[in-house]
Structure 1
Amino acid sequence: MALLRHFLLLLALAVQAAAASAVPPPLQLHFYARSCPRAEAIVRRVVRRRAAQDRSVLPALIRLHFHDCFVRGCDGSVLIDSTPSNAAEKEAPPNLTLRMLDVIDDVKAVVEKACPGVVSCADIVALAARDAAAMAGRVRYELPTGRRDGTVSSAAEVNLPSPSVSFAEALSAFRSIGLGVVDLTTLLGSHTMGFCHCGLIMDRLYNYNNTGASYPTMDAGLLATLRHRCPPHTVTPQNESHDAIVPMNLVAPLGPFGLDNSLYPSVLAGRAVLQIDQELTSSGKARRIAAMFAAQPRNFQRHFARSMVKLGSVNVLTGRQGEVRLNCRRVNS
């Protein structure tokens, strides 16, 4: 009887150990400290070099990270090229204007020379976005790493919130990946960077909700400026991706490639270019957060850092999950 009890105890311990080993390990700070100690420095150096040549690298890398994490989690799947038998994520309409994917290729090439087969493309995307935030607005944060790369990328799965959705729809989309109203309000602050195509705002300027009128609360001065830059009937399905562009925030002290809190005063004054940004004023809680960020730049920086870390942890693959792609544009054969 004692022998049987001892056997059952050993069996229970073995089952517990097997169950524990099946749980993927969490992300951790300095994951590559031993396996590739120069990894993070390499990412930073390449991003800095490319940003010195073209500052538009910075918003592009932050946007790329968001688009990656919103579909299947932060697994680098947005980088995968299509094949004759599969239309990958980058072929979906929201991703057609993604830029600077070659920066990730550049980083990967240098990292592979230093540490072959060690650093994932998913981590490179997340680290590049972190470094872009630091270079654009001195938003600095430590980022846990250890992500593995996904092996599936499908355009049919891309369902990012449109720039013209309501606040409720945007919040629902964010909640579907584990983010909340604070994260939504905070991460939209990155819309002070970069440019948008006129095609994204034409309905807001001329035919909001098929009324034949503009968005009802848009500042008159902003409306006149945007209509001048985006005249009617200049955007068609044939030229939508090549139409004129306007700054995402017309009042940005750091310019179109700087990250600061300047979107929020524009939102509170009814001067947001994108509807999804202006919709922040339709929620009492989001409006209060926006007012706090407008008055307290450092508070915005702190929250932006926290939300970026949270975003970078969405549905990650770790441990033995996924793979470390040798080429970020295709899965390993």
Structure 2
Amino acid sequence: MLKSARRSKQSKSKDPEGRMPLGEHLRELRNRLMKAVLAIVVVTIVAAFYQKQIFDFLLRPLLDSVGCPDGAKLTASGRPCAIIKTDTLLSPFTIALKVALMSGVLVATPVWLYQLWAFVAPGLHSHERKYAYAFVAVGAPLFVGGAWVAYAIIPQTAEIMLGFSPVNVQNQIELDAYLDLVTRMVIVFGVAFELPLFLVGLNMAGVFPGKRMLGWWRGMVIGLTGFAAIATPGGDPLSMLLLAGPLCVLYFIAVGISLANDARRRRGDPDAGLDDDEASDLDLTPEGVGDIEPVSASGALPEQATTEQDRRMNGYDDIT
């Protein structure tokens, strides 16, 4: 009984390097997924009770900019306005479920990201874990910043897009389509703000040096401006600059971090000043403490040996 109990305890004890049989890996993955899904479900249920407040938060930028006051066709500033509508009887219910689920996934992000990290972390080295912590700590605020920019440009985008409608036409925007647009903008802008993190990661992996990234600045500024023009639904200069400006600033910050990282590597590399086709100096000093004895002539080649004793010390005799 005691032996079986000890064996069970030993089998349950985890390996410090995270090694375990395939069955244990699958069992741990199942448990991690169940915890992540449970967190999303709990937050979704809580968000369902506050779905009206979430609707007000998502619709406020649109209604404040192009909302129709008391059924009018123009806003207070004389621009064409719009009203929010639904198509079917079940649309409000299905949209409320979609908003609650979307809120559950977003709010529970720290939980399911931690579960993913806890599953992957045992297979990483200590320095890899340190870099991963830093990347997660920086990547989350960057994504939130991109989402905030997407939320902030909705009023300007709505005013410009509805400015093309005739005066006598009443604009009706489907609630489901509007929420899909907001979701796409948040995801696209949030991922776009991860660009500097991606560049710094490539530099730390040794793929691109910072000097080469700096040489791309003209093409990157043009490319980021073009991306901003495509990503913003309105395509107006103000919305485009609100996205392209921060992206260009983040790009140059990433280049500065990469240049500093390259300088740090050169300080710790004794061969940093050598060309690619230049060999480094070899240190042929024997290891040891104290005075270094000179190498005797017994280390000479057989044809360079002068005495019979030298030949035999080198493992050669007269026959060989």
**TM class by smaller structure:** under 0.3
Higher helix share: 2
